[in-house]
């Protein structure tokens, strides 16, 4: 009770001195007035009365001074002298101060960097979007699985029914060719309904958005809204942009608006949209039987904007009501379909849980680092205050209050923390200014790390907590009198109980260092697995054409947009011409056309089953599907194990054939010859069956982490319009960009020009996560290793100091140097032991949870464990060696005399 | 100088303030007036010590204050006893009684 009112008083005296002063003046004035009134009542004149009152009071100013002393404003003076004292005592131990400041700089700097990164890619609002909290991501759910796309009719049903939404918008994104004088260029185009800009709160700043009427008849509304960056970069930001013409896939469009600056579409983290056109312009909008208007083909993503006051659960209930009705009305398509409402953010709702786990994991790691640093520093501060025992005892004896002493130690801690935190923040921001989230593979182009107030606030909080952690513990020890008296016979104090806290701290650190090093070792080892023999293809010399604008993954060429809409003779001729002209480039060893390539992040799935089994027995296998022409396996360097590859003759006149991977063959026909067997798709919509003509080795699929069973079908037998060029070169494939462009121009000058990407860069991109994680945990591990070396050294040295007498007695009794050294080392190892065990278990657990990132490496990989363990033991032994040697050099006579 | 008014015994002012406030909450001037009235003008509170003492008691958490409007519409800071203050008053009274008895017994000897 007392301390509360007291603290309150002091705080007011420090933070609101003006107010206290005013209140005091008022109180005095009141007193004088009442006194004067009394005198007047007793018959004085008002003047006399006032004078008398003043005299009685004895000088208002003097009384105010006296009262002010009672406020305890002297605290402020105490504080300055404490700070001065702290600075002086720190100057006397510069090594301690430097280690503390640097450790805290590392800990707080690392955390600031992490917060900034998390904020930039996870928490920051989607750029250019207003009132984000009212936007709802509507996630389609099919048979309990969250999917990405809605069918357009479902969207229309939801849009047209009663709901808590102000408006609902649908859109589809694809790459398209934008025509200009110097040739085609691929751009990211969002095909949107008229409500799109309203839902996202991103009305065009110049011109207009789309009108309701532009949702109408397919292909009748060639209008385009350009993004701010497209306007600046490709149209030189000219003010008379409205009304200008752009060709999109060969069709002229009129520019009607410019989107707000920074606005790059709804999916900020997966790619920036360059252009927006009405959804009615989508290639799938034409001929009502195509994508839109079809309840079987999911094609659009859907967002809604809530009415003010409406809630997410109302939205979800409303949408699910519509879906329940549709399920009854269209059982064959909608029976298992529904949708759920999720908050809109930088990450699409579908991935959020996995992302969250990753973020929380990293936060935990960094927070652990800071905790370890604090434990380390607390240990050091304790050891230091133990060494200052005499000084402190003297100060106590001279009447320094215990509270004052604690305050002094706390002020030291706060000073060091402030300097350390400042340094850490500066370091972190300098470092973050040099990297971009795009380099780290955690965000789409256009994202930057911006320092946020949020990160600063957290940083401040952390610093405060750190100061408490490492300042308060040692300080509190001295507020316990029995410990202070214990200081008197410190030299006689014995063995194990010494520095119990430091021992725990050092043990925790070694554990954490072990855990982190282990993680690093696991990631680095898993990178080794990304070598050609494991990937199943040979990236050296292989190149893939990117027909896009250099986005986060290579874009495909869409033949239907280049005047080859169907699987006809003209398209077949084009394919031949493309293959021929590229193959004739000097340096090209082989070339193939395909709609994908190994490590392509876009994956096409297919469910297949063996056609020769009764359907009750047959199991559906979800496989990756790639359409390829002849020469594909030679080009990517995957061996044909059985049968043949896809050939030129596998065209639309020939029977459908398939080449499957080893693992798929083993799944479908274990122990049998797969050649000549039939594959089919479950669900009778498409009755095609393919005859298996060949088996190839397993190939890495969309990520380096897994090899899904894979089926390769002839490109010439499919009406899918997407394709890219895959080639194998005798030299650097990137150098072939020019010749390939030239070759394509010879075939068809209207085709957009590609850039050749070396397959090695695809591998690098696919293993980015492992490399980043390996680097981060390796760096953290080394830091913690250094810190724990300091910690272990400190504790062992402390123990040796405390045990000087005991060791001296032992030496006097005949213990050899070797025995003493072994004893001290054993002590150090015993201290590290529990930490090692815990750290190892923790790391193995984490690794098991992140198994998918290990590219098939076992989470308890013996090589990783052994190397991390040996490194750590080495560090523990070397850091205890110094004190051990010192112990062995103790001269018994001297030590016992001095003790 | 006339008849000397008794000096306030050191430390007794706090107790007097607590006692007065235990009757009813009032402002600083009210306290000094009440002490004067009850002691029949024998005790005069030095206004300066009064306010220093009030601040000290507030810091100790024995009294608390709030601004209120007086009967003739003036704003004044009113002080009131807290629970801790009530307890403290008991302690001080007890202490005082013992001190007074001790002093009395010594004086009785003379």
Residue-wise pLDDT tens digits, A730-756: 888 888 888 888 888 888 877 777 888
User: Cα torsion for A228, A231, A232, A237, to the nearest 10°?
Assistant: -120
Which of B46, B55, B61 comes nearest A2 by C-beta?
B61
What are the domain boundaries of chain B? 12-109
CB spacing of A69 vs B52 below 8 angstroms: yes
**pLDDT at position A552 over 60:** no
Contact with chain B for residue A73, Cβ under 8 A: no
Q: What is residue A99's predicted lDDT score, i.e. its pLDDT?
A: 78
Mean pLDDT, residues A786-792 taken together: 76
Structure tokens at B92: 């001080």
Average per-residue pLDDT in chain B? 83
Q: What is residue A644's predicted lDDT score, i.e. its pLDDT?
A: 93
How much of chain A, in percent, has pLDDT values that exceed 90? 16
Highest-scoring range by mean pLDDT, A364-378, A490-504, A831-845, B20-34: B20-34
SS3 B9: coil
**pLDDT at position A689 over 50:** yes
Exposure string of A459-489, with b = 16+ CB inside 10 Å and e = fewer, is beebbeebbbbbbbbbbebbeeeeebeebee
d(CA A603, CA A605): 6
DSSP state letters, A642-655 = EE----TT-STTSP
Provide the pLDDT confidence category of residue A592 given band limits of 50, 70 and 90. Answer: very high
User: Considering all CA atoms of chain A, what is the largest pairwise distance in Å, rounded to the nearest integer?
Assistant: 128
Q: How far is CA B33 from CA A662, B7, B54, in A?
A: 104, 17, 15
Q: A134-166 pLDDT, tens per residue?
A: 999 999 988 877 888 898 889 999 999 888 999
Phi first, then psi: give them for residue B88, nearest 5 degrees: -60, -40
Mean pLDDT, residues A16-33 taken together: 77
Mean pLDDT, residues A556-565 taken together: 78
d(CA B72, CA B82): 26
A529 or A60, which is more confident?
A529
Residue of B nearest to A38 (CA): B33
Show the DSSP H helices in A731-859 as ranges: 737-747, 759-766, 768-802, 804-812, 817-849
Q: What is residue A336's predicted lDDT score, i.e. its pLDDT?
A: 84
Structure pTM? 0.56
Q: Mutate which of A34, A55, A74 to disrupt the B interface (most B C-beta within 10 Å)?
A: A34
Least confident of A8-17, A349-358, A714-723: A8-17
Question: Which residues numbered 14-73 in B keep a CB inside 8 Å of some CB on A?
Answer: 27-29, 33, 46-49, 51-53, 55-56, 58-61, 64, 67
SS in 3 state form for A429-482?
HHHHHHCCCCCCCCCCCCCCCCCCHHHHHHHHHHHHHHHHHHHHHHHHHCCCHH
SS3 A278: strand
In 3D space, the residue among A188, A195, A340, A345 whose CA is nearest the CA of residue A266 turns out to be: A345
Least confident of A255-264, A299-308, B33-42: B33-42
Within 8 A of B46 by CB-CB distance, chain A residues are 58
Provide the pLDDT confidence category of residue A73 given band limits of 50, 70 and 90. Answer: low
Q: How far is CA A99 from CA A90, A420, A471, in A?
A: 12, 10, 15
Which of B51, B74, B77 comes nearest A63 by C-beta?
B51
d(CA A389, CA A411): 18
- Determine how β-strand A275-278 pairs with β-strand A251-258: unpaired
- A861: Cβ contacts below 8 Å, ≥ 6 apart: A521, A522, A525
ipTM, 2 decimals?
Answer: 0.83
User: Cα torsion for A743, A745, A746, A749, to the nearest 10°?
Assistant: 160
Q: How far is CA A141 from CA A149, A172, A336, in A?
A: 9, 18, 8
Taking CB atoms and an 8 Å cut-off, how many pairs form between chains A and B?
A: 71
CB spacing of A31 vs B47 below 8 angstroms: yes
Average per-residue pLDDT in chain A? 79
SS3 A697: coil
Q: What is residue A432's predicted lDDT score, i.e. its pLDDT?
A: 74
Place of tokens 């030496």: A811
Provide the pLDDT confidence category of residue A491 given band limits of 50, 70 and 90. Answer: very low
B74 or A643, which is more confident?
A643
Mean pLDDT, residues A774-790 taken together: 75
Mean pLDDT, residues A804-808 taken together: 79
CB spacing of A30 vs B59 below 8 angstroms: no
In 3D space, the residue among A722, A702, A714, A726 whose CA is nearest the CA of residue A590 turns out to be: A726
Q: What is residue B68's predicted lDDT score, i.e. its pLDDT?
A: 86
Provide the pLDDT confidence category of residue A627 given band limits of 50, 70 and 90. Answer: very high
A413 or A278, which is more confident?
A278
**pLDDT at position A654 over 60:** yes
Q: What is residue A549's predicted lDDT score, i.e. its pLDDT?
A: 59
Within 8 A of B56 by CB-CB distance, chain A residues are 70
Within 8 A of B86 by CB-CB distance, chain A residues are none
d(CA A692, CA A677): 5
CA distance A66 to chain B (A): 6
Which of A30, A70, A72 comes nearest B29 by C-beta?
A30
Q: What is residue A334's predicted lDDT score, i.e. its pLDDT?
A: 86
CB spacing of B52 vs A6 below 8 angstroms: no
Within 8 A of A23 by CB-CB distance, chain B residues are 67, 77
CA distance B98 to chain A (A): 26
Q: How far is CA A449 from CA A101, A355, A445, in A?
A: 25, 18, 12
**pLDDT at position A885 over 60:** yes
Q: What is residue A198's predicted lDDT score, i.e. its pLDDT?
A: 93
Q: What is residue A10's predicted lDDT score, i.e. its pLDDT?
A: 62
Q: What is the CA radius of gyration of chain A?
A: 37
Q: What is residue A386's predicted lDDT score, i.e. its pLDDT?
A: 65
Domain B12-109 indexed as CATH 1.50.10.100: no
Provide the pLDDT confidence category of residue A569 given band limits of 50, 70 and 90. Answer: confident
Q: What is residue A69's predicted lDDT score, i.e. its pLDDT?
A: 55
Mean pLDDT, residues B76-96 taken together: 90
CA distance B87 to chain A (A): 13
d(CA A449, CA B81): 57
Mean pLDDT, residues A423-441 taken together: 72
SS3 A581: helix
Mean pLDDT, residues A782-791 taken together: 76
**pLDDT at position A65 over 60:** no
Structure tokens at B54: 């009030």
Let me know: does A499 contact A473? Beta carbons within 8 Å: no
Q: How far is CA A613 from CA A133, A705, A713, in A?
A: 52, 32, 21
Mean pLDDT, residues A488-498 taken together: 44
What single-letter DSSP state applies at residue A496?
T
Provide the pLDDT confidence category of residue A579 given band limits of 50, 70 and 90. Answer: very high
């Amino acid at each position: 009770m007392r301390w509360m009112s007291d603290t309150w008083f002091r705080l007011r005296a420090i933070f609101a001195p003006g107010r206290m002063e005013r209140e005091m003046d008022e109180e005095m004035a009141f007193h004088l007035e009442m006194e004067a009134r009394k005198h007047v009542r007793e018959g004085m004149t008002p003047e006399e009365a006032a004078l008398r009152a003043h005299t009685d009071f004895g000088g208002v100013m003097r009384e105010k001074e006296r009262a002010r002393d009672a406020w305890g404003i002297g605290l402020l003076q105490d504080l300055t002298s404490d700070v001065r004292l702290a600075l002086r005592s720190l100057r006397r131990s510069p090594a301690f101060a430097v280690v503390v400041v640097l450790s805290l700089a590392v800990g707080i700097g690392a955390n600031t960097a992490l917060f900034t990164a998390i904020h930039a890619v996870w928490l920051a609002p989607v750029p250019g979007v207003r009132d984000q909290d009212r936007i709802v991501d509507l996630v389609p759910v099919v048979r309990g699985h969250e999917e990405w796309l809605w069918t357009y009719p479902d969207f229309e049903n939801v849009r047209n029914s009663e709901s808590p939404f102000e408006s609902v918008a649908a859109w589809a994104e694809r790459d398209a060719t934008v025509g200009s004088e110097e040739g085609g260029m691929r751009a990211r185009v969002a095909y949107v309904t008229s409500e799109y800009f309203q839902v996202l709160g991103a009305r065009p700043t110049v011109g207009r958005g789309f009108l309701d009427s532009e949702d109408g008849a397919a292909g009748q509304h060639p209008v385009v809204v350009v993004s701010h960056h497209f306007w600046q970069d490709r149209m030189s930001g000219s003010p008379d942009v409205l009304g200008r013409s752009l060709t999109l896939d060969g069709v002229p469009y009129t520019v009607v608006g410019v989107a707000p600056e920074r606005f790059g579409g709804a999916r900020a983290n997966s790619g920036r949209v360059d252009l927006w056109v009405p959804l009615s312009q989508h290639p799938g909008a034409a001929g009502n039987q195509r994508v839109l208007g079809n309840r079987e083909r999911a094609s659009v993503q859907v967002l809604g904007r809530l009415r003010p006051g409406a809630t997410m659960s109302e939205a979800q209930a409303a949408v699910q009501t519509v879906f329940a009705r549709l399920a009854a009305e269209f059982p064959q398509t909608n029976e298992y379909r529904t949708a759920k409402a999720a908050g809109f953010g930088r990450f699409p709702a579908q991935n959020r849980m996995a992302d969250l786990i990753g973020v929380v994991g990293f936060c935990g790691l960094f927070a652990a680092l800071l905790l370890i640093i604090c434990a380390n520093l607390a240990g050091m501060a304790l050891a230091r205050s133990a060494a200052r025992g005499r000084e402190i005892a003297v100060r106590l004896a001279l009447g320094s209050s215990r509270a004052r002493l604690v305050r002094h130690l706390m002020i030291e801690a706060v000073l060091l923390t402030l300097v350390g935190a400042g340094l850490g923040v500066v370091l972190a921001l300098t470092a973050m200014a040099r990297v971009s989230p795009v380099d780290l593979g955690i965000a789409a182009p256009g994202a930057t790390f911006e320092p946020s107030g949020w990160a600063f606030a957290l940083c401040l909080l952390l610093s405060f907590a750190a100061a408490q952690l490492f300042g308060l513990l040692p300080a509190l020890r001295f507020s316990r009198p029995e410990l202070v008296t214990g200081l008197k016979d410190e030299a006689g104090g014995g063995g194990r109980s010494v520095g119990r806290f430091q021992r725990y701290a050092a043990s925790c650190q070694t554990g954490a260092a072990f855990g982190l090093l282990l993680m690093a070792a696991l990631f680095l080892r898993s990178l080794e697995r990304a070598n050609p023999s494991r990937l199943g293809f040979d990236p050296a010399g292989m190149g893939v054409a990117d027909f896009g604008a250099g986005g986060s993954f290579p874009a495909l060429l869409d033949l239907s947009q280049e005047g080859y809409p169907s699987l006809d003779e003209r398209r077949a001729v084009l394919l031949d011409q493309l293959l021929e002209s590229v193959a004739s480039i000097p340096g090209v060893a082989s070339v193939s056309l395909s709609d994908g390539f190994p490590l392509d992040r876009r994956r096409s799935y297919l469910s297949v089953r063996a056609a020769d089994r009764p359907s009750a027995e047959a199991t559906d296998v979800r496989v990756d599907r790639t359409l390829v022409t002849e020469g594909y396996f030679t080009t990517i360097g995957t061996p044909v194990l059985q049968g043949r590859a896809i050939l030129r003759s596998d065209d639309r006149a020939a029977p459908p054939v398939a080449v499957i991977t080893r693992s798929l063959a083993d799944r479908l026909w274990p122990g049998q010859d797969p050649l000549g067997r039939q594959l089919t798709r479950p669900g009778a919509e498409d009755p095609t069956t393919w005859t298996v003509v060949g088996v190839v080795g397993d190939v890495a699929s969309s990520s380096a982490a897994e090899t899904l069973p894979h089926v390769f079908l002839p490109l010439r037998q499919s009406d899918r319009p997407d394709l890219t060029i895959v080639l194998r070169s005798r030299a650097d494939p990137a150098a072939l960009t020019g010749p390939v462009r030239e070759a394509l121009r010879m075939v068809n000058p209207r085709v957009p020009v590609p850039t050749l990407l070396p397959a090695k860069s695809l591998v690098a991109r696919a293993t980015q996560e492992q490399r980043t994680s390996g680097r981060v945990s390796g760096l953290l591990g080394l830091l913690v290793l250094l810190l724990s070396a300091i910690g272990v050294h400190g504790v062992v040295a402390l123990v040796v100091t405390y045990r000087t007498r005991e060791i001296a007695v032992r030496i006097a009794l005949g213990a050899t140097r070797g025995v003493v050294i072994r004893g001290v080392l054993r002590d150090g190892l015993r201290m590290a032991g529990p930490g090692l065990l815990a750290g190892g278990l923790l790391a193995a657990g984490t690794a098991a949870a992140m198994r998918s990132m290990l590219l098939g490496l076992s989470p308890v990989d013996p090589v990783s464990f052994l190397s991390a363990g040996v490194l750590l033991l080495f560090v523990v032994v070397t850091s205890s060696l110094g004190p051990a040697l010192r112990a062995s050099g103790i001269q018994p006579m001297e030590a016992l005399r001095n003790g | 100088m006339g008849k000397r008014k008794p000096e306030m015994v050191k430390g007794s002012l706090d107790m007097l303030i607590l006692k007065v406030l235990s009757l009813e909450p009032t402002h600083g001037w009210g306290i000094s007036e009440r002490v004067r009235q009850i002691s029949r003008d024998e005790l005069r509170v030095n206004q300066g010590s009064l306010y220093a003492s009030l601040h000290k008691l507030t810091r100790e958490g024995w009294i608390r204050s709030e601004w209120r409007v007086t009967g003739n519409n003036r704003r004044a800071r009113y002080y009131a006893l807290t629970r801790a203050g009530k307890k403290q008053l008991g302690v001080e009274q007890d202490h005082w009684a013992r001190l007074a008895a001790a002093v009395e017994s010594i004086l009785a000897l003379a």
